[in-house]
């Protein structure tokens, strides 16, 4: 089936595609707030109806939380599964929005027109790029270019509590030849990319307890152990002078970057000084001898996300606190084992405790890193298709954050996943005045049409 008529159909149908996206954006499908449960149902119903209208067999599937949308469309060639999520983040603080976050508008900016609304970029706009690509194929040729399925979630923004049980219960139905995930972005707002590395995450909250109650620093200072002093010493010991993490065994399973991927990253000409300068910084603070992109995408980290203890209110209170607390997270890469990282970190902390101090640990999630094998021919076919659409060479990149769904496709279903998205750094996802560039939406649809042609 020829591609050019499909691209022409996408171009001519763009106003209608934007109108359909605006309909979906008007539904306040905030998954974290029980008050919006009905709206999440409404969003799922809207997607079911839209997919059915273009020939998919779509259903709303119940879960203990918000429903899944599963749809199947027949066509020749491979089975392609598309994942996205229809739920959105809360809109607080509402006072910072320039208009109603669920009344989408097209706004002209210095960089071109944008669609401004909650969910425009994360993830309704991205999700609809793939639906619109399928619509254009079906409208132009009367059939899809492949056996295409949709798996759309309503709890991504609230931790996906129903996702793993649903995937395991419906593994045979959801298994495919390749999975496509549209929840990422362009590199530096102009270079299309395929994410092949996702960092995992381990979170730990620790509480150091010393005396049985807060103490007067004049009566006990110098004689009694201060838990903040103990905690500070532990935190200071987590890194050496070269920026490396000192927890024993921390670098077990950390691979070096393949030369061909390193060359692609070098060609991106990432401006780390501009990147840091935008947030008032200037110098790289990670492992010495590593580039900024290595630090962000392919190297593990240990960061203190919060620390507190004693009196922190207005004025001054001279106490030795009974307890000191910290929240510490580890971003993982390669084959690092989250359970081993947690065990080794706890042993590291316990070994540094002085007499009269105890420690409690509270875990906050653990997920391994995701590594997609670019040996699958689909990756290079998709990269070439993206390059053709955007006019610049697409790149395999990493992602400093965690997108667990990619790992679940591999671990639960045995399916490789490609993460391709068209968001931009200034889209303000999760923040007031979220937007999605009309160019990202338009060229995103065209990109998926090209990728479908390349995979079939």
Cα–Cα distance measured from residue 227 to residue 341, given in angstroms and rounded to the nearest whole number: 24
Segment 239-248 shows an average pLDDT of 97
In this structure, the chain runs to a length of 456
pLDDT, tens digit, 9 for 90 and up, residues 148-190? 999 999 999 998 999 999 999 999 999 999 999 999 999 989 9
pLDDT over threshold 90, residue 407 = no
Better pLDDT: 5 or 374: 5
**46 or 197, greater pLDDT:** 46
DSSP element (H, E) containing 413 = helix 404-413
For the chain, domains (ranges, CATH) are 4-198+371-455 (3.40.630.10), 200-254+300-367 (3.30.70.360)
Q: Looking at residue 15, what is its pLDDT?
A: 98
Helix axes 4-12, 14-25, angle to 10 degrees: 60
What are the residues whose beta carbons fall under 8 Å from the beta carbon of 66, sequence distance 6 or more? 31, 37, 40, 41, 44, 87, 153, 154, 155, 162
As a whole number of Å, the CA-based R_g of the chain is 24
CA angle 327-329-333, nearest 5°?
Answer: 175
3-state secondary structure of 330: strand
Residue 198 Cα to chain centre, angstroms: 9
As to burial, measured by CB atoms within 10 angstroms (0-12 exposed, 13-18 middle, 19+ buried), residue 270 is: middle
pLDDT tier, 142 (very low <50, low <70, confident <90, very high otherwise): very high
Q: Note whether 414 and 175 are within 8 A (CB).
A: yes
Burial class (CB in 10 A: 0-12, 13-18, 19+), 276: middle
| Closest-CA residue to 239 (of 324, 326, 300, 198) | 300
In the chain the first and final C-alpha atoms are separated, in Å, by 10
Return the minimum-mean-pLDDT range out of 27-41, 110-124, 254-268, 329-343. Answer: 254-268
Each residue's pLDDT tens digit, 69-122 = 999 999 998 999 999 999 999 999 999 999 999 999 999 999 999 999 999 999
């Amino acid at each position: 089936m020829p591609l050019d008529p499909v691209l022409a159909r996408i171009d001519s149908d763009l106003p209608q595609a934007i109108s359909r996206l605006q309909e979906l954006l008007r539904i306040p499908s905030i998954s974290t707030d029980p008050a919006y449960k009905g709206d999440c149902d409404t969003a799922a119903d809207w997607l079911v109806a839209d997919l059915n209208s273009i020939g998919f067999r779509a259903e709303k599937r119940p879960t203990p939380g918000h429903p899944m949308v599963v749809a199947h469309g027949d066509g020749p060639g491979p089975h392609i599964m598309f994942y996205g999520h229809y739920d959105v983040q809360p809109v607080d603080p509402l006072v910072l929005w320039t208009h109603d976050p669920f009344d989408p508008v097209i706004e002209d900016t210095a960089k071109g027109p944008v669609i401004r609304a909650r969910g425009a970029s994360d993830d309704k706009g991205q999700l609809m790029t793939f639906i619109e690509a399928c619509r254009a194929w079906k409208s132009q040729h009367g059939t899809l270019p492949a056996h295409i399925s949709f798996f759309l979630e309503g709890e991504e923004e609230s931790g996906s509590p129903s996702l793993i049980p649903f995937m395991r219960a419906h593994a045979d139905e959801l298994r495919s030849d390749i999975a496509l995930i549209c929840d990422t972005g362009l590199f530096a707002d102009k270079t299309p990319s395929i994410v092949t590395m996702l960092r995992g995450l381990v979170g730990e909250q620790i509480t150091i307890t010393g005396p049985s109650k807060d103490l007067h620093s004049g009566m006990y200072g110098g004689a009694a152990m201060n838990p903040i002093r103990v905690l500070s010493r532990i935190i200071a010991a987590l890194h050496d002078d070269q920026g490396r993490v000192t927890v024993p065994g921390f670098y077990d399973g950390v691979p070096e970057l393949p030369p061909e991927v390193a060359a692609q990253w070098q060609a991106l000409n990432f401006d780390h000084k501009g990147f840091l300068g935008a947030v008032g910084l200037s110098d790289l603070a990670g492992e010495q001898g590593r580039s900024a992109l290595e630090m962000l995408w392919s190297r593990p980290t240990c960061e203190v996300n919060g620390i507190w203890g004693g009196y922190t209110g207005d004025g001054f209170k001279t106490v030795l606190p009974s307890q000191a607390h910290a929240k510490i997270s580890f971003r993982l890469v390669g084959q690092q084992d989250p359970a081993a990282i947690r065990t080794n970190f706890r042993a590291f902390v316990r070994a540094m405790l002085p007499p009269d101090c105890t420690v409690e640990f509270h875990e906050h999630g653990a997920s391994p890193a995701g590594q997609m094998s670019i040996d699958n021919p689909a990756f290079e076919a998709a990269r070439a298709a993206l390059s053709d659409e955007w006019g610049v060479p697409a790149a395999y990149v990493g992602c400093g954050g965690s997108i667990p769904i990619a790992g679940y496709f591999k671990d639960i279903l045995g399916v490789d996943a490609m993460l391709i998205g068209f968001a931009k750094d200034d889209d303000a996802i999760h923040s007031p005045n979220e937007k999605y560039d009309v160019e990202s939406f338009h060229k995103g649809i065209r990109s998926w049409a090209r990728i479908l042609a390349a995979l079939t």
